[in-house]
């Protein structure tokens, strides 16, 4: 029986022209996770990551403090949904996401509603797969872990794919992904134990590497 560690990327660059890159804090969050894993002697048989730049940068920051990781498998099915496309599918005139407090709240109100509409099949965001295809891509990553590995595996992706994986393992409705996703911290670790037949959830949204008073300000969501 192995353990699959599902890690959400570090803090990205929300409210800027290029969200898909880590902030300096995001790099520190992931480096701290690598240090925590190294201190506990974690060794990984396999590594997987999503195809986005923030996934690559997060894994690189972890690996910098955790030498000896196997070469990563880049898995297209671990790509994140396009939050802006989801919002525009519901409200075409919605302003771009920004760090302004009221605009931030409005963005996430629309994102929540847009995700539900996408899951229900009431909207199809531009440039995105259907919800069914998105969920199948996540499921294919879980299948690969069970088929190829028997030991511990490190997987780095975004909140959407990780939340979708958890909902699938729990056999929860697709809508459960929304609540799991929007509460997930940057660099948080969720865990499955797995056998060739199934995965089982053993941990969700943990931040053991940030559990120090001096790192209280390192806990972020976006």
Q: Kindly report which listed range (42-51, 90-99, 147-156) carries the lowest average pLDDT score.
A: 90-99
Q: How confident is the model at residue 92 (pLDDT cuts 50, 70, 90)?
A: confident
β-pair type (189-194, 199-206): antiparallel
Mean pLDDT across 151-163: 98
| pLDDT tens profile 15-65 | 666 678 999 999 999 999 999 999 999 999 999 999 999 999 999 999 999
User: Residue 136 contacts by C-beta under 8 Å, 6 or more apart in sequence?
Assistant: 77
Give CATH for domain 2-79+130-218.
3.40.50.1240
Nearest by Cα to 156 from 35, 81, 57? 57
Q: What percent of the chain has pLDDT over 90?
A: 86
Residues of the chain with CATH 3.40.50.1240: 2-79+130-218
pTM tops 0.85: yes
Closest C-alpha to 52, from 43, 60, 62, 63? 60
Q: Residue range 109-118: average pLDDT? A: 95
């Amino acid at each position: 029986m192995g353990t699959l560690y599902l890690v959400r990327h570090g803090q990205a660059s929300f409210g800027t022209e290029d969200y898909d890159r880590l902030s300096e804090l995001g790099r520190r969050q992931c480096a701290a996770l690598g240090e925590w894993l190294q201190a506990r002697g974690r060794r990984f048989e396999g590594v997987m990551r999503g195809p986005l730049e923030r996934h690559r940068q997060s894994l690189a920051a972890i690996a910098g403090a955790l030498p000896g990781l196997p070469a990563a498998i880049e898995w297209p099915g671990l790509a994140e949904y396009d939050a802006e496309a989801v919002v525009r599918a519901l409200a075409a005139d919605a302003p771009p996401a920004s760090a302004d407090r009221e605009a931030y709240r409005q963005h996430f109100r629309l994102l929540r509603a847009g995700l539900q509409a996408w899951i229900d099949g009431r909207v199809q965001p531009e440039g995105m797969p259907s919800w069914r295809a998105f969920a199948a891509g996540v499921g294919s990553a879980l299948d690969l872990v069970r088929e190829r590995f028997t030991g511990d595996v490190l997987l780095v992706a975004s909140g959407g794919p990780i939340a979708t994986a958890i909902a699938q393992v729990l056999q929860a409705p697709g809508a459960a992904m929304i609540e799991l996703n929007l509460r997930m911290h940057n660099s948080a670790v969720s865990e499955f134990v797995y056998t060739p037949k199934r995965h089982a959830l053993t941990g969700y949204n943990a931040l053991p590497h940030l559990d120090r008073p001096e790192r209280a300000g390192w806990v972020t969501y976006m």
